[in-house]
Amino acid sequence: MLACAMLLSAAMFAQQGDKSIGLNIKYGLDEPKSTGFGIKGQYGFTDQIRGEVSFNYFLKKNHAQMIDVNANLHYVFTFGEFGVYPLAGVTLQSVNPDGGSSESKFGLNIGAGAEYPVSEKIKVNLEFTYKLASDHWDRSLVGIGVAYKF
């Protein structure tokens, strides 16, 4: 019985105290349609609720470079080993145009994602996020990522 309990607890997707660090590739679906690369860290507050912080750097497009910093909460629903989650959080977006001064805006993140563990320590995910900051700062992003659980 103890061995079964240990196996079941190891198979749970998001567990209290779980930590992971990973990499993202993001693509902006709105103008400017730029590609970004980032890092993320996650921590499981409960078996279903986890926090995530991330930093993304977007390649220069239309003579401007963008970065964003995010803090999101995920509520993970598990279906076997597959997990899906809605997300909500806050963002700080910064745009630095060529020859100009950078401009930053705070906003909100809403979205959803899905993830799958490819091994005991590695998981992959697909995520959609909509950033609400102001009219010309709102943007939709789709991303893929990989994370290492420790």
Give the model confidence (pLDDT) of 116-144 as tens digits. 999 999 999 999 999 998 877 899 999 99
Distance CA 26, CA 6 (A): 36
3-class secondary structure, 5: helix
> So what's the pLDDT on residue 64?
83
pTM (predicted TM-score)? 0.83
Give me the mean pLDDT over the 39-45 stretch.
97
Reduce the DSSP state of residue 17 to 3 states and report it: coil
Residue ranges of domains in the chain, CATH in brackets: 2-149 (2.40.160.20)
Q: What are 142's two structure tokens?
A: 């789709």
pLDDT recorded at residue 14: 54
What is the mean predicted confidence (pLDDT) over 94-105?
86
What integer pLDDT is reported at residue 52 of this predicted model? 98
Residue 89 CB neighbours (<10 A): 20
